[in-house]
Structure 1
């Protein structure tokens, strides 16, 4: 009998984050006499690493899609049981006076790319490169038309909670290396996304050279945060399909709740990310509260397939795999039948 399960989530707009902050997830498992433990809050580095590697049995995760794609590519038996597509601000930014005002001006210029040489899953580098490729594609350019400047950092992606270097905050915010490089004059532009990226662009009075987070072509806007899968390990699904179905049903309730309580939903998202509510509205759009559903639509599968291929071509994942075969519709269908009844 399962005594406890592990969960983890990214600082991003996800229905799992909202459901957990509302107490729904803990309540659901408590009713089943099962404890819920946080991977990210663990003092054991090996446990915290599962936020990226999905190594723990009886665990579930919703957040950026690069780590679960990497884990599945490497042979970890996981299943996608739901997907949330919440579009967000994605852009290439530069400083005023740089001579870069539009996407075509990037040709021949230096674009910064964060890189962590010691990381097994360098998701920040992959995210930035996909954004850069998308921006260049819109101008008929390729990465060969620009100078990619890799900015190395040795700081771990998931450090100890309470790290003194964070000055009392929960985590290090992104784009620090890029911002310093831009200030030094060693790069001309870099990629940002989401509420954090929008706040940074606002703070430095940046020129938005190319913005494509809401582009109609999903192949352009797909990235680490678009879309975000809810994944569980295969052992959890095989041994306790009832708990997984309950979990999917609980998280699925967020969509209707958010539509009825838009300001509360944005408040919880802002709390999760660590930004102001106005940044969430600006980065995710005025209908953010209408885009927190858990679904499994064909276009979402196609988006994952396209992004998986990008990660494979750029050597971010070790092997190819079948995306449709990674998806298990059973728990979501069970939740939908329950709602219909």
Structure 2
């Protein structure tokens, strides 16, 4: 009997200790949250566009974690996705807002990331060409010098656009240049064409480029999806912090998806990124913000990402594909959406 009581006491002690550890772990929090973003600005200020600029300008994350004493640090990278993946691999950042290809490459390369939210879907891209070149279609690019920022969402976008016309990169003379270098090279007529976003509209306004087509003209082929990913180690260690971050992100998402705020958003990004307001107005005038900034990891979005993974594997941008559904961790976003269901329901298309 004495042995039985001793065993029971020992078991109770172990159980109590486990409970204490469980509570301690649940209350554990980081000193800092580090968020990585590709820097899209053409000026001295930082800009990531979309939800990032709204979050930063309104100090939403900073306010959300102030009472917990958690610092929020935004890290902007001109090297875009490839450099951010390196930072994730080295444990230097906890979350990253990334275009689809960079996030896919990271996951396919063995980075332990969790797909937490969509940040944009169906972002339009343009073909920019030298004025008077006679290039009107993607088929006209055969044998031409085309600048692409490899390892970024732009490369996957361009490959998807080419594939829609039965073409591949090897049909062209592809040169690896970052966005600013490609824009400068096109303006200087050192290349025949490039593929990019609204920066090409700015060149067109100055008479330095023509934009004969966009992904809209291709039925959406080549449009870009962007995501929020988190470090697997961070997500597992601080699930309550991740949940709170996704709840806070919804404040910016709700504001963005309200069409009445489109003008204010354009002015915000124009100021931060040093882009002409008229250029952003041209780029976004036909876009529905409720659709572009839908954060859900719904079947349609995951299918688009899976198509990106499959194309990246086929084009040998990654060694092997993977199942996007196994990458996605939607529970935090779903909880955040459920908490704001009355407001969110009106915006879901």
Query: Do Structure 1 and Structure 2 share a fold, with TM-score over 0.5?
Result: yes
Residue 160 of structure 1 corresponds to: none
Native 8 Å contact 2:34 2:75 kept in 1: yes
Native 8 Å contact 1:103 1:136 kept in 2: yes
Tell me the TM-score normalised to structure 1 length.
Answer: 0.76
Residue 243 of structure 2 corresponds to: 245
| Distance apart, 1:212 and its partner CA | 1.4
Output the CA distance in 2 between the equivalents of 1:214 and 1:236. Answer: 41
3-state SS in 1 of match to 2:96? strand
Deviations 1:11-30 (CA, angstroms, capped at 9, x unpaired): 34321331122110111121
| Distance apart, 1:287 and its partner CA | 3.7
3-state SS in 1 of match to 2:122? coil
Residue 201 of structure 2 corresponds to: 198
Deviations 1:152-180 (CA, angstroms, capped at 9, x unpaired): x6xxx7xxxxxxxxxxxxxx735246416
3-state SS in 2 of match to 1:123? coil
What is the 5 A alignment of 1:179-198? 179=186, 183-184=189-190, 187-193=191-197, 195-198=198-201
The alpha-carbon distance between structure 1 residues 272 and 292, as it changes in their structure 2 partners (threshold 3 A), is farther
| Distance apart, 1:139 and its partner CA | 4.0
Greater than 6 Å deviation, 4+ residue runs: none
Output the CA distance in 2 between the equivalents of 1:31 and 1:23. Answer: 14
3-state SS in 1 of match to 2:76? coil
| Distance apart, 1:58 and its partner CA | 6.4
Q: Is residue 146 of structure 2 the alignment partner of residue 112 of structure 1?
A: yes
What is the 5 A alignment of 1:63-212? 63-106=98-141, 108-114=142-148, 122-124=150-152, 127-128=154-155, 130-131=157-158, 133-143=159-169, 146-151=171-176, 173-176=180-183, 178-179=185-186, 183-184=189-190, 187-193=191-197, 195-212=198-215
3-state SS in 1 of match to 2:212? strand
| Distance apart, 1:140 and its partner CA | 4.3
Q: Give 1 or 2: higher helix fraction.
A: 2
The alpha-carbon distance between structure 1 residues 317 and 275, as it changes in their structure 2 partners (threshold 3 A), is same
Highest Rg: 1 or 2?
2
Output the CA distance in 1 between the equivalents of 2:148 and 2:341. Answer: 47
5+ residue gaps in structure 2? 1-27, 41-47, 343-349
Output the CA distance in 2 between the equivalents of 1:319 and 1:17. Answer: 34
Residue 225 of structure 2 corresponds to: 227
5+ residue gaps in structure 1? 116-121, 158-171
The alpha-carbon distance between structure 1 residues 16 and 245, as it changes in their structure 2 partners (threshold 3 A), is farther
Native 8 Å contact 1:54 1:68 kept in 2: no
Output the CA distance in 2 between the equivalents of 1:278 and 1:332. Answer: 34
Output the CA distance in 2 between the equivalents of 1:67 and 1:129. Answer: 9
Q: Is residue 13 of structure 2 the alignment partner of residue 7 of structure 1?
A: no
Residue 332 of structure 1 corresponds to: 333
3-state SS in 2 of match to 1:33? coil
Question: Relative contact order, CA 8 A, sep 6+: which one is greater?
Answer: 1
The alpha-carbon distance between structure 1 residues 96 and 261, as it changes in their structure 2 partners (threshold 3 A), is closer
Residue 119 of structure 1 corresponds to: none
